[in-house]
């Protein structure tokens, strides 16, 4: 008898089934995001989330965000999830990015998620709710100096210069300050 993949599947058992993460709250990094289209033709973004803290470190969670403008609730959830993952509505409105560009902007973002279990096509899946942003690739690193010029039409960011040191304008006599200042409605002393 020849090779039969079903026999190997039987031997491996549960190991071949996708692992569904236990319901809970997790800190994850978006390691992959790709623009996609659902079987019904809706625009979507497929994501791979990697748990980076806690006992499930290294576990990956597949997810899909689907744009459903016919449902105001679904559209709001989609928009809020994109914002948490680094694709804010203001950026989308101003930049008018493609779905591929939106997906690319999300990669590397670290977010907090809550998962539950749901049935889809007869199998358990993680249902992902995006809770909050921890960091996104769209944010400048905290140690980076502020830049100017991009909003002003420059082709490359220009490092902001340190503000000039203020001149010492304090009077030599502190009593002079007290005499020249009074709250409205109170006499100067």
In degrees and rounded to multiples of 5, residue 61 shows phi and psi of -125, 120
Total number of domains constituting the chain: 1
The verdict on residue 26 lying in a domain is yes
> What confidence tens digit (pLDDT) does each residue in 19-38 have?
788 999 999 999 999 999 99
Give the residue numbers spanning the domain of 75. Answer: 18-135
The verdict on residue 157 lying in a domain is no
pTM over 0.85: no
The verdict on residue 23 lying in a domain is yes
Which residues of the chain are modeled with pLDDT < 50? 140-186, 188-189
Per-residue tokens: 161: 């210069």
Residue 43 sits in a domain of what CATH number?
2.40.50
């Amino acid at each position: 008898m020849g090779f039969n993949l079903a026999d190997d599947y039987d031997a491996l058992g549960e190991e071949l089934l996708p692992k569904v993460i236990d319901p809970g709250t997790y800190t994850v990094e978006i390691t992959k995001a790709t623009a996609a289209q659902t079987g019904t033709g809706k625009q979507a973004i497929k994501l791979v989330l990697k748990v980076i803290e806690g006992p499930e470190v290294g576990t990956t969670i597949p997810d899909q965000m689907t744009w459903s403008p016919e449902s105001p609730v679904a559209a709001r959830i989609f928009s809020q999830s994109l914002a948490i993952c680094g694709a804010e509505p203001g950026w989308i409105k101003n930049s008018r990015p493609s779905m591929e560009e939106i997906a690319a902007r999300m990669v590397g973002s670290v977010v907090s998620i809550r998962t539950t279990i749901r049935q889809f096509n007869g199998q358990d899946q993680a249902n992902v709710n995006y809770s909050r942003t921890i960091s996104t690739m769209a944010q400048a690193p905290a140690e980076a100096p502020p830049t100017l010029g991009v909003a002003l039409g420059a082709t490359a960011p220009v490092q902001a210069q340190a503000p000039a040191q203020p001149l010492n304008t304090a009077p030599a006599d502190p009593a002079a300050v007290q005499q020249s200042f009074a709250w409205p409605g109170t006499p100067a002393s």
